[in-house]
């Protein structure tokens, strides 16, 4: 039997038998080389209570080349792209070793959620948010966990979700409602205000470094 | 250079025809005539290097390996370590011997760890967990620096090995059925008797996994430093281990045999490439499939590249696999040798960009590839409809424009709507407004700059095109040469002058092409005028020679034609020498001034202040 197939089958079976790690690997379609992994958000982090799904593609030369992984679930994290779910983690690139398994890699992802590396960011805007104001970043991360990963309080927010879509967007971008309202009051569209403020990292102490003129100037750009 | 070529080819003719041996009266006279003919091509027989040529030496892969081995042996002798250790250390330090010696003398253990020869002390807890019996000796041995090159199958793990032995590189499959049956942690293969291998860290994996791992590293990643497969283990496999792992895999699975040979040579090539890449005096021949290296110490520094154009040749000819067989056949049928592997030692852009130095040649190519000039043209020659923004070129007619697309009527001069012009047909009352004048100034400026660029570009492109057609010219000339042999009493050797002439034209066109790139950037002044005089002399001579080559052949004019072509060839050759030599000397004297800042030269703007 093909060594790659044997190995992948064994890894999937091992993961099924292991009830303690809470890591799950499922098939997406018939192919054993395209999988979906999932793990719970680590405790004591903004991701606690969420369930995070990961898209796994096993390359031809696995396990001698690293697996390709990206988050299916949206995650607010400096090392994960908030748009595509791409992950910045050394063992998925040059630090890969053939003895690493799907399970151990997923565990590494889990611990990546515990310890972000803002100095080597995948998503620069999120990383800026993290370094500027950790508490504000965590609020947003919790919010994303609720919305996308089915975190605690998800039901509550779902009920009111449709009623206050606007509020959602502000919180999603990790911004302060008062700030957004102020610029919307000047006659700018809310979506644009959120976009500009997020780009400028209009958060925490950083606000004092950004004069209103600068914001308005950005807002006026087509 | 060229004169030597002719001399060489002289000898070739004699060899091929064996004329020296079969001397009868007629033959003797033919020879003396031939000698004369060929002498015509000689300008000087002095072996002196011309100033536009550069000293370089071609090294085969084996020769480079010798250089590597010398360095390795040197280090072995100083440190008293085995060859493979020295090799890993040198590779880690990018072959910087002085730095390595300094650092190694300072902290030998740290150096060995960094190079992946030995595992750092506190690490490798895994073997102690799984193979408790062997672990004690393993860790002790690895901390005692480069003593052991690699571990073998479990059976040999406890055998004592003297510190400087390099014999440890033999691979022995473990005796069948060890104490516990072995399951490879990578492929989960639990077949008994599968040979396993491990580095000194004793991380055991089956030989098939090693083989797959090494081939994936060598082939997909072009990586010569093969780390242990265990996570976080920083040991690097010594060369001997890599080779025997591949060979052992081939023994286990004989179908891999062919593959193994390829991998082994790939590994060797990667090692050589790293060595060459780390040495500024060496460069790998860029032709596909070629494994030669050129050594050119005089072009090793960046600043030297502003003084010389290091056109070198690795000595090999022909292009490995990239040339289709039909192309090769075509060339062979023309009696042409495959092209020499000529390349620039200083830059990757083009094989021979003499007389222009790398930086200027690079700038010129960038400018040509940029579509900035297209944009410039659009800016110069078109305007946008002020209603629908379509780009419009006015190619004649009056200023009353009607947009084809949106039917908007406007004035070409002021771009305002035509209706406002009322009855003032054909005379726009806003014509002399300041904005309008400025706009026209800007437009004419941009037009002038475009014209200047196009002047140089067209000539550049023309010579490039001609060079591409040289193969056609060769085949045409070949036909003519045959024709001449039939219609006149000339022998095959005697009609060779045609081929020489074509080769010379080809060579000069390449020079001419790059002189246009040079002239585009040269600052105005006497120097540039002299340069352009030389250029025009060469160009004129080349065109005259080309014309002679194209002219129809009639039996009665062949002797005069031959004389003319031969004379012209020599003249063209001289003119080419003059251009190359003068330009090269100019670079050495720092005579050339540019009209735009060029990397490595003084900024023309600052010069004036």
ipTM score of the complex? 0.78
Q: Which of A65, A91, A99 sits opposite B230 (nearest CB)?
A: A99
**Inter-chain CB proximity B231 and A64 less than 8 Å:** no
Given a cut of 60, is residue B262 above it in pLDDT? yes
Residue partners of B184: CB distance under 8 A and separation at least 6: B190, B194, B196, B204, B205, B206, B208, B209
Judge residue A47's burial from the number of C-beta atoms within 10 Å of its C-beta, 0-12 exposed, 13-18 middle, 19 or more buried: buried
The residue length of chain B stands at 609
Lowest-confidence region among A69-83, A106-120, B312-326, B398-412: B312-326
- Write down the pLDDT at residue A209: 84
How far is the C-alpha of B355 from the C-alpha of B427, rounded, in Å? 53
B220 touches chain A (CB under 8 A): yes
Q: What residues does B57 pair with on adjacent strands?
A: B295
Set of chain B residues whose Cβ sits within 8 Å of the Cβ of A7: 186-188
Given a cut of 90, is residue B153 above it in pLDDT? no
Distance between start and end Cα atoms, chain B: 43
At B170, is the pLDDT very low, low, confident or very high (cuts 50, 70, 90)? very low
Mean pLDDT value of segment B273-301: 86
**Inter-chain CB proximity A65 and B220 less than 8 Å:** yes
> According to the 3-state scheme, what is the secondary structure of chain A?
CCHHHHHHHHHHHHHHHCCCCCCEEEECCCCCCEEEEEEECCCCCCCCCCEEEEEEECCCCCCCCCCEEEECCCCCECCECCCCCEECCHHHCCCCCCCCCHHHHHHHHHHHHHCCCCCCCCCHHHHHHHHHCHHHHHHHHHHHHHHHCCCCCHHHHHHHHCCCHHHHHHHHCCCCHHHHHHHHHCCCCHHHHHHHHHHHCCCHHHHHHCCHHHHHHHHHCC
Q: What does B152-213 look like in DSSP terms, one character per residue?
A: -SGGGTTS---TT--GGG---PPPSS-SS----TTT----TT--EE--TT---EEHHHHHHH
H/E run at residue B564: helix B558-589
* Residue B368: strand, helix, or coil: helix
Q: B58 phi and psi, to 5 degrees?
A: -95, 135
Given a cut of 60, is residue B332 above it in pLDDT? no
**Inter-chain CB proximity A97 and B230 less than 8 Å:** yes
Look at B152 and B347; give whichever has higher pLDDT: B347
Q: How far is A105 from chain B (nearest CA, A)?
A: 11
| Residue B397 near residue B383 (C-beta atoms within 8 A) | no
How far is the C-alpha of A88 from the C-alpha of A98, rounded, in Å? 19
Q: Which of B194, B209, B223 to mutate to test the interface with A (most CBs of A within 10 A)?
A: B209
Look at B524 and B324; give whichever has higher pLDDT: B524
Mean pLDDT value of segment A174-200: 86
| A63 prior amide bond cis, ω within 30 | yes
How far is the C-alpha of B327 from the C-alpha of B339, rounded, in Å? 12
The four Cα atoms B283, B285, B286, B288 give a dihedral, to 10 degrees, of -150
Q: Which of A7, A91, A98 sits opposite B229 (nearest CB)?
A: A98
Q: Which of A97, A100, A107, A108 to mutate to test the interface with B (most CBs of B within 10 A)?
A: A97
How far is the C-alpha of B410 from the C-alpha of B387, rounded, in Å? 9
Q: How far is B412 from chain A (nearest CA, A)?
A: 29
**Inter-chain CB proximity B229 and A7 less than 8 Å:** no
Set of chain A residues whose Cβ sits within 8 Å of the Cβ of B230: 97, 99
B319 touches chain A (CB under 8 A): no
Q: Which residue of B has its CA nearest to A14?
A: B188
Q: Which of B216, B220, B229 sits opposite A99 (nearest CB)?
A: B229
Q: Which residue of B has its CA nearest to A96?
A: B231
**Inter-chain CB proximity A98 and B186 less than 8 Å:** yes
* Residue B273: strand, helix, or coil: helix
Cβ within 8 Å of A, B 221-280 = 227, 229-233
Distance between start and end Cα atoms, chain A: 60
- Write down the pLDDT at residue B314: 82
- Write down the pLDDT at residue B165: 35
Given a cut of 50, is residue B65 above it in pLDDT? yes
Set of chain B residues whose Cβ sits within 8 Å of the Cβ of A99: 185-186, 203, 229-231
Token duo for residue B198: 């491990």
Q: Which of A10, A65, A100 sits opposite B188 (nearest CB)?
A: A10
Q: B340 phi and psi, to 5 degrees?
A: -70, 150
At B236, is the pLDDT very low, low, confident or very high (cuts 50, 70, 90)? very high
At B36, is the pLDDT very low, low, confident or very high (cuts 50, 70, 90)? very low
Residue partners of B463: CB distance under 8 A and separation at least 6: B509, B510, B512, B513, B516
Residue matched to tokens 């352009």:
B532
Set of chain A residues whose Cβ sits within 8 Å of the Cβ of B185: 99
Average pLDDT in chain A:
85
Q: What residues does A80 pair with on adjacent strands?
A: A77, A87
B212 touches chain A (CB under 8 A): yes
Tens-place pLDDT, residues B310-323? 888 887 776 544 44
Which residue of the set B314, B385, B388, B398 is catalytic?
B398
H/E run at residue B63: helix B61-79
The domain defined by B296-371+446-608 folds into 1.20.120
Mean pLDDT value of segment B5-19: 42
Q: How far is A37 from chain B (nearest CA, A)?
A: 20
Which residue of the set A72, A88, A200, A210 is catalytic?
A88
Average pLDDT in chain B:
74
Q: Which of A61, A65, A99 sits opposite B185 (nearest CB)?
A: A99
- Write down the pLDDT at residue B187: 84
How far is the C-alpha of B313 from the C-alpha of B533, rounded, in Å? 30
**Inter-chain CB proximity B187 and A7 less than 8 Å:** yes
Q: Which of B187, B216, B230 sits opposite A61 (nearest CB)?
A: B216
Q: Which residue of A has its CA nearest to B215?
A: A64
Given a cut of 50, is residue B34 above it in pLDDT? no
Given a cut of 70, is residue A146 above it in pLDDT? yes
How far is the C-alpha of B403 from the C-alpha of B35, rounded, in Å? 73
Q: How far is A5 from chain B (nearest CA, A)?
A: 9
- Write down the pLDDT at residue B426: 45
Residue matched to tokens 């790998």:
B284
Q: Domain segments of chain A: what residues?
A: 3-114, 134-220
**Inter-chain CB proximity B213 and A64 less than 8 Å:** yes
At B158, is the pLDDT very low, low, confident or very high (cuts 50, 70, 90)? very low
Q: Which of A7, A65, A97 sits opposite B231 (nearest CB)?
A: A97
Tens-place pLDDT, residues B339-383? 778 888 888 876 788 888 888 888 888 888 776 567 667 767 777
**Inter-chain CB proximity B187 and A3 less than 8 Å:** yes
**Inter-chain CB proximity A97 and B208 less than 8 Å:** no
Given a cut of 70, is residue B58 above it in pLDDT? yes
- Write down the pLDDT at residue B152: 38
Set of chain B residues whose Cβ sits within 8 Å of the Cβ of A6: 187-189
Tens-place pLDDT, residues A164-181? 444 477 888 888 888 888
Tens-place pLDDT, residues B502-551? 888 888 988 899 999 899 999 888 888 999 999 999 999 988 888 888 88
Token duo for residue B484: 């001449």
**DSSP symbol at B81:** -
How far is the C-alpha of B276 from the C-alpha of B24, rounded, in Å? 54
Tens-place pLDDT, residues A123-145? 888 888 888 888 889 989 998 89
**Inter-chain CB proximity A6 and B187 less than 8 Å:** yes
Cβ within 8 Å of A, B 53-82 = none
Pairing outcome for strands B340-344 and B311-317? antiparallel
Backbone CA torsion sign across B517, B520, B526, B530: positive
At B234, is the pLDDT very low, low, confident or very high (cuts 50, 70, 90)? confident
**Inter-chain CB proximity A99 and B216 less than 8 Å:** no
Mean pLDDT value of segment B497-501: 86
Range from A15-24, A55-64, B386-395, B584-593 that averages highest in pLDDT: A55-64
Residue partners of B4: CB distance under 8 A and separation at least 6: B47
- Write down the pLDDT at residue B432: 52
Residue B398 designated active-site: yes
**Which among B152, B165, B242, B232 has a CA at the least distance from the CA of B200?**
B152
Look at A205 and B295; give whichever has higher pLDDT: B295
Please state which architecture CATH assigns to domain A3-114. Answer: Roll (3.10)
Given a cut of 90, is residue B73 above it in pLDDT? yes
Given a cut of 50, is residue B204 above it in pLDDT? yes
- Write down the pLDDT at residue B167: 35
Set of chain B residues whose Cβ sits within 8 Å of the Cβ of A102: none
H/E run at residue B599: none
**Inter-chain CB proximity A98 and B209 less than 8 Å:** yes
Token duo for residue B37: 């003919």
The four Cα atoms B29, B31, B37, B40 give a dihedral, to 10 degrees, of -110
């Amino acid at each position: 039997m093909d060594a790659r197939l044997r190995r992948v089958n064994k890894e999937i079976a091992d993961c099924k038998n292991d009830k303690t790690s809470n890591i799950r690997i499922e098939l997406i379609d018939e192919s054993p080389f395209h999988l979906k992994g999932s793990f719970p958000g680590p405790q004591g982090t903004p991701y606690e209570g969420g369930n995070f799904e990961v898209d796994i593609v096993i390359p031809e030369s696995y396990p001698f080349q690293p697996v390709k992984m990206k988050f299916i679930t949206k995650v607010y994290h400096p090392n994960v792209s908030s748009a595509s779910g791409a992950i910045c983690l050394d063992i998925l690139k040059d630090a890969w070793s053939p003895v690493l398994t799907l399970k151990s890699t997923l565990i590494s992802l889990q611990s990546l959620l515990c310890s972000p590396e803002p100095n080597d960011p995948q998503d620069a805007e999120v990383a800026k948010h993290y370094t500027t104001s950790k508490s504000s970043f965590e609020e947003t991360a919790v919010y994303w966990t609720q919305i996308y990963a089915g975190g605690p309080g998800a039901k509550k927010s779902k009920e009111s979700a449709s009623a206050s879509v606007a509020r959602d967007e502000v919180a999603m971008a990790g911004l302060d409602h008062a700030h957004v309202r102020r610029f919307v009051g000047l006659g700018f569209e809310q979506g644009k205000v959120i976009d500009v403020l997020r780009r400028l990292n209009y958060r925490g102490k950083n606000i004092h470094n950004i004069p209103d003129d600068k914001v308005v100037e950005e807002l006026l750009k087509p | 250079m060229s004169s030597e070529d002719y001399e060489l080819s002289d000898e070739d003719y004699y060899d091929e025809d064996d004329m020296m041996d079969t001397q009868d009266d007629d033959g003797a006279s033919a020879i003396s005539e031939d000698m004369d003919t060929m002498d015509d091509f000689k300008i000087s027989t002095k072996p002196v290097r011309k100033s536009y040529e550069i000293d370089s030496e071609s090294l085969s892969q084996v020769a480079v390996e010798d250089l590597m081995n010398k360095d390795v042996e040197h280090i072995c002798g100083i440190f008293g370590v085995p060859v493979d250790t020295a090799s890993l250390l040198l590779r880690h330090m990018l072959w910087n011997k002085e730095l390595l010696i300094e650092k190694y003398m300072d902290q030998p253990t740290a150096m060995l760890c960094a190079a992946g020869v030995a595992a750092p002390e506190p690490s490798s807890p895994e073997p102690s967990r799984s193979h408790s019996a062997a672990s004690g000796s393993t860790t002790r041995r690895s901390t005692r620096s480069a003593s052991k090159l690699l571990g073998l199958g479990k059976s040999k793990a406890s055998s004592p090995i003297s510190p400087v032995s390099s014999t440890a590189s033999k691979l022995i499959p473990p005796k069948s059925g060890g104490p516990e049956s072995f399951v490879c942690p990578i492929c989960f293969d639990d077949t008994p008797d599968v040979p396993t291998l491990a580095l000194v860290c004793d991380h055991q994996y089956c030989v098939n996994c090693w083989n797959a791992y090494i081939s994936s590293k060598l082939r997909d990643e072009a990586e010569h430093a093969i780390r242990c497969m265990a996570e976080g283990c920083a040991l690097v496999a010594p060369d001997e281990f890599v080779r025997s792992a591949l060979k052992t895999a081939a023994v286990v699975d004989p179908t891999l045999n062919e593959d193994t040979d390829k991998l082994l040579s790939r590994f060797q090539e990667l090692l050589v490439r790293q060595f060459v890449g780390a040495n500024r005096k060496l460069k790998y021949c860029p032709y596909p499939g070629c494994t030669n290296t050129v050594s050119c110490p005089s072009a090793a520094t960046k600043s030297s590249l502003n003084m010389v154009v290091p056109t070198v040749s690795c000595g090999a000819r022909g292009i490995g696999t990239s040339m289709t067989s039909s192309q090769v056949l075509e060339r062979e049928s023309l009696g042409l040798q495959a092209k020499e592997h000529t390349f620039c030692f200083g830059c990757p852009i083009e094989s021979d960009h003499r007389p222009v130095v790398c930086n200027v040649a690079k700038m010129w190519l960038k400018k040509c590839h940029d579509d900035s000039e297209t944009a410039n043209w659009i800016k110069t020659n078109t305007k946008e409809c002020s209603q629908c923004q379509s780009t419009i070129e006015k190619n004649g007619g009056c200023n009353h424009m009607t947009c084809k697309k949106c039917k908007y009527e406007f004035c070409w001069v002021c771009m305002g709507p035509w209706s406002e012009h009322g009855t003032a047909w054909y005379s726009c009352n806003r014509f002399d407004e300041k904005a309008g004048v400025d706009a026209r100034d800007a437009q004419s400026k941009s037009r002038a700059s475009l014209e200047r660029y196009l002047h140089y570009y067209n000539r550049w492109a023309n010579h490039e095109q001609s060079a591409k057609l040289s193969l056609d010219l060769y085949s045409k000339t070949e036909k003519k040469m045959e024709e001449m042999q039939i219609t006149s009493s000339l022998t095959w050797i005697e009609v060779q002058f045609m081929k020489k002439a074509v080769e010379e034209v080809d060579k000069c066109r390449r020079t001419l092409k790059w002189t246009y790139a040079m002239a585009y950037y040269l600052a105005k002044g006497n120097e540039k005028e002299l340069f352009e005089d030389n250029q025009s002399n060469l160009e004129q001579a080349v065109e005259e020679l080309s014309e002679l080559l194209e002219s129809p052949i009639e039996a009665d004019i062949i002797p005069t034609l031959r004389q003319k072509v031969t004379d012209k060839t020599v003249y063209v050759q001289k003119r080419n020498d003059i251009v190359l030599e003068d330009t090269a000397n100019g670079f050495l004297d720092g005579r050339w001034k540019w009209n735009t800042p060029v990397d490595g030269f003084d900024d023309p703007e600052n010069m004036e202040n």
